[in-house]
Structure 1
């Protein structure tokens, strides 16, 4: 049985103004079973929150740290937590 988790990731680099949130949402929908959001932060980072099974969240994190993202990712800081709910689907905020 798969464990449900909450992933919160802060993505640093050239990640605003390049479609990063849109592509993150598309990847989350492609993986399936994830809810959450991608949000531009005032300091230039993008915050990604995803809830779902651990495998799906790990897949999204793998993509966030890959060379397949738009823009340029200089680093990702993540924390893992228990799901909190409250998100319907995967949104761009």
Structure 2
């Protein structure tokens, strides 16, 4: 019994040393299977939620405060997450489905 503990102890200590604490928060805000770090509202998307449900053309006149992009169905937007950028996602009915940072 003590031999098992003696053999398992170094393995457990090595695994414990790899633990960095809490895992970073990730989310699939777009629903496309790509998880990004969850960001606060650094891009100001919370103030643009009134666009959701409107025609895609409403994004053209929106008051974006910085970098933004509009993604249509089938566009992934690439792997680069930028919390200061506003992303407007358009659905298959050509309506704004989501406004989010990233």
TM-score of the pair, normalised by structure 2: 0.27
Highest RCO, 1 vs 2 (Cα 8 Å, sep ≥ 6): 1
Choose between structure 1 and 2: higher strand proportion: 1
Larger radius of gyration: 2
TM-score of the pair, normalised by structure 1: 0.29
